[in-house]
Structure 1
Amino acid sequence: MRGVSRASLEEVTRRLDAVLESANAATLGHELFEVVSLLEQEHSLRRWLADQANPAESKSGLIGHLLESKVSPATIIVVSDIVQAKWSGTRDLVDAVEQAAVFATVAGVEGEQRLGELEDELFRFGRIVAAEPGLRSALTREGVAAEHKRTLVENLLSGKAGSATLALISQVVTRPRGRTLEQGIDHFGRLVAERAQRYVAVVRTAVPLSGAQQERLRNVLTQVYGRAIHLNIEVAPEIVGGLSIRVGDEVIDGTVAGRIAEVRRRLAG
């Protein structure tokens, strides 16, 4: 988000933190995801709510009327704050509700200082799906009931991942919002990292890195980016040697395979 939407997102996130102090975080996260689904389905509603020409009080009143008796008071407060803010477009408004849902879902994890484990669980699930075409097909196939997909995710992760991980992956699988499965997992992973006030570095290496090597790499990247770094490491023998590091949209390719590919591009040019 940029401009007015960025400023609004910062404000509604600050107000969300105040609500989370007394709300049931898991319930709030679940209900906010339900609101995301509602807004995705109701095109006219989300356009009206995002229209800056409409009075903020009217938007809040409409949301209160629609959600009353269906969700907790905390959810109505958060959604009212969001719809009263100014957004550059409908997508930004719905994204703000989704981000609030993710932040609420992981709020309990924050208290247990398990955000790093949650990031790892999301990343590992993404790698498993990438390596199992049959599983990916089962989770993304159109026409399959959302409940069936949710049950499959629960069976896969039961006893292997935390409740927040299960909730986020279930959301990605059942309500992708136009994202691929991989994009959805990556997006939620970045939001978790943002909540932890750090960046995620996806590191591809030909051989496993020792604990000391990981710590040195983490320290170097922290100095470069000026923010704490969480490492997601993928062993990929096909890169031959060196490291490939992606932080957001920036890629640092120091692999042998990358250098060979660059030479081939130059020769072809």
Structure 2
Amino acid sequence: MDFTGKTAWITGASSGIGAALARDLSRRGAHCVLSGRDEARLQSVADDCGEALVLPFDVRDDDALAEARDKAIHWKGGVDIAFANAGVSQRSRALDTDMKVYREIIAIDLTAQIAFAQGLIGHMSERGSGALAFVSSIAGKVGVPMRTAYCAVKFGLAGYADALRAELSQSGVGVHVIYPGSVVTDVARNALVADGSARGRSDKAIDEGIPAREAAATMLDAIARGEREIIVARGFEEQMGETRRTPDALFDQVAGMVAAGYMERMEAGE
């Protein structure tokens, strides 16, 4: 993919990986649509992106999402690539964690990201082109202590994306799943603890992680090469991700099932 002249819509764009993706995409010639809840911070990122459209909304608000989708599509005549990046992490033992924490993380990190994609797959399929990029995590490959809710949603997001990729494999729409390890962001500081409040402090691993700008560049380079599964990590985290990497041959096999009429036979009750 050449990003020049493409319209890229990024959720969670006010900081961290989302903001870094927006700035890098802009440098590569893309038009950026920036979404998140904090309009002032989104505008600060937009100021670095040349021509950009700021669409603030809460990803859990279906009506606001639908309104933002229509504006994003009509701004430049279509959305070429969408990054499902919004999310919140966790730092608490399962034994201590209130169910409201699980429900909130599922709503933000999984259900809302699926809704974001569902709102665009018809548009992209009708055009016969486009790409969806889902930001999962190394915690979506390997279960990590203190992150049971976060692992659940990141595994789930990857499962949805892999199945969606197969369904769209004959449509011209690509699907990419990104698995970051520790990246220098506020993810740990904003993570929810057992009672649902924000943790308020970072982790050493995050603070010493990959700079967000470097991580974003790696992600975009991999998307440009057409990679379906993108691991962005170092050291032990990279080893964990690579150990659980899905072979391209398996993706091809599932796509081949679709090409051979698997979905039509299922719908016919065969």
The TM-score normalised by the length of structure 2 is 0.29
* More helix, by proportion: 1
* More strand, by proportion: 2
Pair member with larger Rg: 1
Whose relative contact order is higher, 1 or 2, with alpha carbons under 8 Å and at least 6 apart? 2
The TM-score normalised by the length of structure 1 is 0.29
